[in-house]
Each structure stands twice: as C-alpha cells, then as structure tokens.
Amino acid sequence: MTLLDFSSMFFTIAFLVYGVAFILYGVAVMGRVWRNRDPDQHMKKWGKVSFLVSTLGLVAHLIYFFTRWSGAGHIPVSNMFEFMSTLSMMIMIAFTVIFIIYRKTLLGLFAVPIAIIIMAYAAVFPQEAQPLIPSLQSWWLQVHVTMAALGESFFAIGFAGGFMYLLRTVDFNSKNKSDRRQQRGVEFTLLSIVVVIGFIASVYAFRVGGYESVFTQEQAVNAQGDKTIARVEYNLPPIVAPYQSEVESFQSFLGIDKPLFEAPSWMVGINAGRKLNTIIWSVLAGLILYALIRLILRKPLGRAIHPLLKGLDADDLDEITYRTIAIGFPIFTLGALIFAMMWAQIAWGRFWGWDPKEVWALITWLFYSVYLHLRLSRGWQGKKSAWLAVLGFMIVMFTLVGVNLVIAGLHSYAGTN
C-alpha cells in the first residue's frame, strides 16, 4: 500500500466516522426532545459521546491530510478534491474550537453535516495526486490557501449558528407578511442545501452505473485557422450538448437517445455545455429529493425542524454566530487578501489584477466587513444578523465553487476538467 492509498483510506474512515457522529448528535438532540425524564442530562451525556466520536473523525481527517501531503510532495490544496477535503477538515477544527468554548451539542447536528456534504462533494472530483503547476510551486501556497480555508471554515460555523437561530426564532405558524417572508427564506436555504445533496447523489448514482457519453468539437488553435478536435466526457446524461459538437458515443437514459438542446454560442469552451448540464441535473435532482422529503414530512422542512430547537437559548445562538465570524474574519483577511496579494506580486508581478477569484474574495471580505460594522455600530442582532451570516456563507460557496468551475480566470487551475 502506497502512502497515497493509506491517505485515501483515512479519508474514507473520517467520512464514515463523521457520519456516525452526526447520528449520535441526532440521538442526543432528539432524545432530549422525546424523553420525559432528565432531558438535559440525556443531552449532556450523549453530547459528550458525539463530540468524542467527531473528534476521532477529525483525527482520521488530519492523518489523511498529512499523509496526502507527504505522498503528493505538496500541501493538498492544489485542486478541487484536495481543497474541498481540506476545507471540510478546517470546518471540523473550527467546530471543535467553538464546541469547547460554548458546549452546545445541537451545533454539531448542523456543523458536522456541512463537513460531510463538502467531503462528499470533494469526492466527486478526480482524486489523483498531480504535480504542482509552476505558479503554485511556492511556500506561499501553504500560507495563503490554508489560512483562507480556516477563515472560511469559521464562516461556515457562523452560518450553522445563524441558520439555527432562524430555525429557532421564525414563527412558522404565522400568516403575517413579514413572517411568511422569513419562512420562505428559511425554506429556500434548505432547498439550496438539498440541491447540493441531490447533485452529489446523482453523480454517485450514475458513476456506480458506469454512465458515459462522449462528444467532440472542432476548435481553432491559432490565427491561421488550424483546428484540433477536442473531446469531452459526460458522466451525467446529456440534457445539454456542447455548442456545435458531434456525438462520438451516447448512452441512452429513460428513452432519451440524444441531447435535448445544445449550449448557447456565448458559453465558450467545450466544457461549458457539460457545466450547464451539471447545473440542470443538480437542480432537477435537488427538486425531486426536496419533493420526496416534503411528501414524507407533509410539511415544510423548516417547520419540521423548528420543534427540535425549542429548548435552545436564541441569544446564545446569536452570540455564537457573531463570535465565530469575528474569529474567522481576521484569519480570512490575512489568508485570502493580504497574503494572496503578496503572493500575486511575486508570481505575476502585480498585487491586484481583477481576476474573478480575486474579485469574489474581495466581495466576501467586504460583505463580512459590513456584517461586523452593522453588528457593532448599528446594533444589528437577532434575525438581521443571522440572515447576513447565512447569505455570507452562500457568497463564500459561490467563490469556492461557482468561480472555480464556471468562470474562467487565473485561478481556474483550482477546478477540474
């Protein structure tokens, strides 16, 4: 067994242990709701067990991280698999720190699934260790990316705390216009999470089934008009084909033996059609999964979750959200902006170049700057503060996923073909 195989094994172990920890956190919380005697004692007891198990998962995750680093010869943050795996580890580190400070067992029921979903999302991408491209061969990679990821991990825990606050305080039985707007916002957030889960589930389902369709497309390679044939593989049934492409092989699905339409001409690149196809499949799978959950629960997801949080102190959740973001903000500032600009000057000869990833990192920083300003200077607390925490992490995830995989730029090497 090579060191990389050993690393992959511990990645799987960490994922499975986190899954067990999530179940135990559910036992701790739901048992507290359903027990008639000593519910607080029950939650305290199972909370300790859950935290112990999630910590064991973090240990396995750390073993994966350092063995991957040793086996690959560089810190594992150079592609989407490695970075998202590292981000999920950082989220568990941030959760561990916040749990030790506040001892809120219910936080694990929301924070641990975030790490699990991001690990599952990471595993969608190719896992082969590859040599670093020249622009990444610097010790700045370790400083810039790890600190940015650590800052974002605290934002993730802030998202969990803020979303829990909303689930705890929104009146799901009210017909008031303002309350109805809050209910829709909570439900949309839950739907967004389900869409991500639906995407992961659909990718794994078709991967297990061995699905593959292949398209080819002529592409110009120079000003003289010379062309080459580019080839792209689809692992999800092609609803959208690449623009002006030819079918090399097509595996039918549910009677569909050709794409329904092709990508528009303004979507440049042979991978553009596949990316649009992935987005469509994500939304379709998410909507189907959401509809099934609604059918089982016979009520909106937010209303179903709300009773589980009745015993929580809303002010504590509000405080956890603010303190967590306050910890993450300076770390993110150093990693994603200051160290990033210093590295950009060394690598590209300029501090700032309006690359899409740079722009969205700045947008993220400005957003959380506004959050802290409104919190400290304007007294924005409660629901206003919680909604900002939720929206902020959505911006973080777009910066990490949307910019890397959809928008071309100097940071496109962080994505995957």
Residues 351-364 have a mean pLDDT of 83
What's this model's pTM, rounded to 2 decimal places? 0.86
Nearest C-alpha neighbor of 33 from the set 240, 284, 304, 254: 304
Does residue 39 have a pLDDT over 70? no
Instruction: List helix spans (H) across 209-313.
Output: 270-297, 301-305
Least confident of 23-37, 100-114, 150-164, 284-298: 23-37
Residues 298-310 have a mean pLDDT of 87
Nearest C-alpha neighbor of 396 from the set 361, 346, 358: 361
Kindly provide the b/e burial profile for residues 174-195, where b requires at least 16 CB atoms within 10 angstroms of the residue's own CB: eeeeeeeebbebbbebbbebbb
Residues 109-117 have a mean pLDDT of 90
DSSP 242: P
pLDDT number for residue 229: 82
Long-range contacts formed by 370-376: CB under 8 A, 24+ apart:
371/325, 372/325, 372/326, 372/329, 375/322
pLDDT number for residue 273: 82
Nearest C-alpha neighbor of 17 from the set 48, 50, 66: 50
Strand partners, 219: 228
Residue with tokens 């990718």: 203
Query: How does pLDDT run across 167-183, given as a tens digit for each residue?
Result: 999 988 888 888 899 99
DSSP string, 42-87: HHHHHHHHHHHHHHHHHHHHHHHHHHHHHHHTS-S-SSHHHHHHHH
Q: How confident is the prediction for the chain on average, in pLDDT?
A: 85
DSSP 134: G
Does residue 344 have a pLDDT over 90? no
Task: Centre a 10 Å sphere on the Cβ of residue 310 and count the other Cβ atoms it contains.
Answer: 8
pLDDT number for residue 410: 44
Residue with tokens 């749990």: 99
What is the rounded CA–CA span in Å between residue 396 and residue 400?
Answer: 6
Query: How does pLDDT run across 236-266, given as a tens digit for each residue?
Result: 899 988 888 888 888 888 887 888 888 887 7
φ and ψ of 323, to 5 deg: -65, -40
What is the rounded CA–CA span in Å between residue 63 and residue 68?
Answer: 8
